[in-house]
Amino acid sequence: MVRITIQIFRFLIPWLLRVAWFTLIFIGISIASIWTGIPTAVRKIANNQLDRAVAAEFPTELDKAFYFTACIVSFLIFVSGWILTSYLTMLIVRWILRV
């Protein structure tokens, strides 16, 4: 039984660390967007993704649709990052102030 538990932890720990790292990057991007401005950050991310898609030989006739989709996705990432940051902030404040 102990051997199975150790194997499960050895399997789960890398995945949990990846999720934690992704969450930190997610929150960092959302907070950084406040300083650069939302429209600027959305355009910069969409242009970066469009350049990567063109470099990977994505069909050029779909550039406008891809750019529009990248803008929407990056904006949704910012909003969901803010929601996640707000939730985690309230969770930590409740945890600290719990007496």
CB 52 within 8 A of CB 66: no
Q: Give the closest residue to 36 by CA, choosing from 64, 68, 63, 74.
A: 74
Q: How confident is the model at residue 93 (pLDDT cuts 50, 70, 90)?
A: very high
Which residue segment(s) compose the domain that 62 sits in?
Answer: 2-97
pLDDT at 65: 93
Q: How confident is the model at residue 80 (pLDDT cuts 50, 70, 90)?
A: confident
Q: What would the two tokens of residue 19 be?
A: 């999720």
pLDDT at residue 99 tops 80: no
Q: What is the pTM of this model?
A: 0.71
pLDDT at 64: 92
Q: How many structural domains are present in the chain?
A: 1
